[in-house]
Amino acid sequence: MHTKGICHRDIKPENILLDKECNLKIADFGFAAPASGKDGSGKLKTYVGTLDYMAPEIHLGMPYDGKKNDVFAAGIILFMMLTARPPFRTAKKDDSYYKLIIGKRSDLFWQA
């Protein structure tokens, strides 16, 4: 998808499917956008996606790299697959778990 210049912008478990050979398939491209952005800057500006999987830049209302947002969401899914729980509710400073990560307190994060 990224090699074709498209960002999904709503990667989450509900949008990841497996076919009968267990090949990964991504569904629901309703929020997909060109990776280059509307103005060609490589930055996207629309506040779309599922809150729990959005990169912090989106929550802050900043222009963001759609590909990096997709990878951020995939990282959250991987964390959930390994721990059976999300790393935080949302990537916002008022989230207590996210605050530990951005505050470089990974020791306390893993204890929690």
**Tens digits of residue pLDDT in 1-25:** 999 999 999 999 999 999 999 999 9
Dig out the tokens for 51 from the structure: 């809150």
Residue 108 pLDDT greater than 90, yes or no: yes
Amino acid making up residue 42: G
The one catalytic residue among 10, 52, 70, 107: 10
pLDDT of residue 57: 94
Q: What is the mean pLDDT of residues 21-44?
A: 95
| The pLDDT value given to residue 45 | 95
Q: What is the pLDDT of residue 66?
A: 96
Q: Rounded to whole angstroms, how far apart are CA atoms 50 and 76?
A: 12
What percent of the chain lies above the pLDDT cut of 70?
100
Instruction: Give the rounded distance of the alpha carbon of 25 from its chain centre.
Output: 17
Is residue 52 among the annotated active site residues?
no
Which pLDDT score, from 0 to 100, does residue 112 have? Answer: 86
Q: If one looks up domain 6-111 in CATH, what number appears?
A: 1.10.510.10
Annotated domain spans of the chain: 6-111
